[in-house]
Chain A
Amino acid sequence: MSADVVAFTIESLRQMNFDVDGADGDTVFGPAGVDLDSLAVAELALRVEDAYGVKFGEEDMERLAIMTLGEFAADVSARASAPSALDGAAK
């Protein structure tokens, strides 16, 4: 699933007008990579929440912003395979 999330993330960032030519699982979201600001991280989170039925809290945002695409995809996959945790967060 992680590879799928990486591809989805790259396509989302492309639609958000970020330069993702050559981006892969090792690319970072931070200034050394795609260079997302806080609003871009928020939009990306929304898109991924919508597509994969996961949920990110406000406290996750700073952590997300410094991940690589691969780390992010693994995080999303783990959340998606732990529905009980999501249920807990939603209550």
Chain B
Amino acid sequence: MVTGIGLLTPLGAGAAGFFDAVCAGRSGLRRPAHTHPVAGILDAAGFAPRVDPATVLPPAEARRVDRFVVLAMAAADAALADAGVAVGREVDPARTAVVLANAFGGLGMFEAEALARQSAGHTAVSPYLLAGMLPNMATARIAIRHGVRGYSSTISTACASGAYAVAEALRLVRDGLADVVVCGGAEAPLLPTAATTFRNSRALAGGWADPAEASRPFDRRRNGFVLGEGAGVLVVERAEHAAARGRPGYAEVAGWGVATDAYHPTAPRDDGTGAAAAMRLALADAGLAPAEVGYVNAHGTGTKLGDAAEARAIRAVFGAHAPAVSSVKGVTGHPLAAAGAVEAAATVLALHRGVLPPTHNLDDPDPECDLDHVRKAPREVAAGAALSNSFAFGGHNVSLAFTHPPSAAVEAPPRS
């Protein structure tokens, strides 16, 4: 059961505003300011709101922590507040878990320290570097801030990471290892070296005068993705635990599926078989028939190969029972490890509100991506079940299944 959502995305802070912006097609993508380190490298990017590190960290540590950690902490604060959970009050600290995902770790902090060492010598390197940049530090700092004493881990499966964290949360609750799991992903990759390698690998959208037009999942003129940053955190809670404290929840996390391409470090299998296998496993795990699924939140990054492979996979899984499909990346860009968590939140909100958000910039659907696209305007549909897909460099495919209304279905009791 998802009882809390915290988002920091190029569409701003807050889950309700995020979903409203996606539905209205308000793009969060901008041309970098000329003073920004990625100016001249990226034509368009998705910048999350500024967060003063001192709002989530003690002053002495606030100056030496990477932005991905700060974004994760702020999103976790928001998700826990939304769920009405204070660890130690609503939930036993030992039965609370944290699983935060990221792909790059604190690359920004590392790059700055490496340059400082080169120009000023070894005494210029901060002793705080590891405590500020290690990939597990989002998880660890959230645990420290909220007093989480149960299970904790960090997942890194590139662009699928955030959704893997939600899948792990479901397993922890099912296995009786936690009553509340703070899960999601955070990424801050708008950095010169990272942006340059994406650009040089020809993965990014290019040639768009208006940055708001650059990200166009499934559109015939799509030519790459737009790099973004942000954080998405969900509070996944054991249904009985939520019911006992009178929290209705947004939607149920009903199942997950993971399959691996075993094919290429960056390219997807163009027949989409890895993606299809992940979706089938998620449906089976949730006990859902394809016909019961009314909506698929696609990974849909806007790359030629990736979108076509995903469309093929969706058609293969659902056949005649074509669900409505959309991708929020048209307005958010691609925040890498945060994407899966942000999009899980979008899927949960779509079920909760009975509104399917449209794919922005999908003006001319590519025949290679023949699907029942939600485009131009949101669609009011009270879907009972939905999937959220995330795929990654490395060939990691994950699909999450959500159902609505959230039931108080009996899950495995906690181990005592």
Residues of A within 8 A of B (CB): 16-19, 37, 39-40, 42-43, 46, 49-50
Contact = CB atoms under 8 A, between A and B. Distances in A.
Interface of B: 59-60, 62-63, 123, 126-128, 131
A46 B121 CA distance: 12
Contacts of A16: 60, 63
A50 B131 contact: no
A49 B123 contact: yes
A18 B127 CA distance: 16
19 contacts: A16-B60, A16-B63, A17-B59, A17-B60, A17-B62, A17-B63, A18-B60, A19-B59, A37-B60, A39-B127, A39-B128, A39-B131, A40-B60, A42-B127, A43-B127, A43-B128, A46-B123, A49-B123, A50-B123
Nearest to A38: B127
Contacts of B123: 46, 49-50
A46 B127 CA distance: 9
Contacts of A19: 59
Q: Which 4 A-B pairs have the closest CB atoms?
A: A42-B127, A17-B59, A50-B123, A17-B60
A79 to B, nearest CB: 16
A17 B332 CA distance: 34
A17 B63 CA distance: 8
A1 to B, nearest CB: 20
A64 B131 CA distance: 21
Q: Binding site of A, secondary structure by majority: helix, strand, loop or mixed?
A: helix
A15 to B, nearest CB: 9
Contacts of B127: 39, 42-43, 46
A37 B126 CA distance: 14
Contacts of B126: 43
Contacts of A37: 60
Contacts of B59: 17-19
A16 B63 CA distance: 8
Nearest to A41: B127
B351 to A, nearest CB: 44
Nearest to B130: A39
B145 to A, nearest CB: 16
A46 B117 CA distance: 13
A17 B64 CA distance: 10
A10 B214 CA distance: 50
Nearest to A37: B60
A47 to B, nearest CB: 8
Nearest to A19: B59
A40 B59 CA distance: 12
A39 B127 CA distance: 6
Nearest to B62: A17
A80 B126 CA distance: 23
A19 B62 CA distance: 14
A37 B59 CA distance: 13
A49 B123 CA distance: 8
B128 to A, nearest CB: 5
Contacts of B131: 39
Contacts of A50: 123
Given A17-B62, A43-B128, A46-B127, 15 more contacts: A16-B60, A16-B63, A17-B60, A17-B63, A18-B59, A18-B60, A19-B59, A37-B60, A39-B127, A39-B128, A40-B60, A42-B127, A43-B127, A46-B123, A50-B123
A59 B385 CA distance: 61
B30 to A, nearest CB: 31
A16 B58 CA distance: 11
